[in-house]
Amino acid sequence: MNPEKAAKLYVESRKWREELVPLGYIPESEIADALGDKKIYLQGLTKIGQQPFVVGKANRHLTSASKDPLQFKKFIIYLFDKAIASSFKDGKEIGNEKIVAAVDLKSIPYKSIDARAFTISFQLLK
């Protein structure tokens, strides 16, 4: 373990969060276009393990992350915030800090394949 490195990374993550989410949450008005696509749904918790379960419909990804990468980042943060918040009940965590996701790739058109969206999503998971 390296406490100095951990402290540095924690401070960096807090600064990053404060810059991107100054209110402490992402207002739906800031990501209205991404929400309007109805491409990702929070389905509740899994029966086994009680993790948040997210379903994504890739064929509905029409708002390109290349057009507005900041809005897409905020959308992903909003999604994770909602999923994580759903894993708490009466102020206590009921999951085990995992999120289960399923992506429906049926009938995905070429215009819905967005390399920038994949890049942004995986950078945020890092």
Distance CA 46, CA 115 (A): 29
Looking at residue 37, what is its pLDDT?
A: 78
Cβ within 8 Å of residue 50, ≥6 positions away: 87, 94, 95, 96
Helix (H) or strand (E) holding 98: none
Question: With contact defined as beta carbons under 8 Å apart, do 122 and 75 qualify?
Answer: no
pTM of the predicted model as reported, rounded to 2 decimal places: 0.76
Q: What's the pLDDT tens digit per position in 8-33?
A: 999 999 999 999 899 999 999 988 88
Distance CA 5, CA 2 (A): 5
Domains of the chain (ranges plus CATH)? 3-125 (3.40.525)
Q: Does residue 95 register a pLDDT over 80?
A: no
How big is the chain by its Cα radius of gyration, in Å? Answer: 16
Closest by CA to 68, choosing from 106, 31, 110, is 31
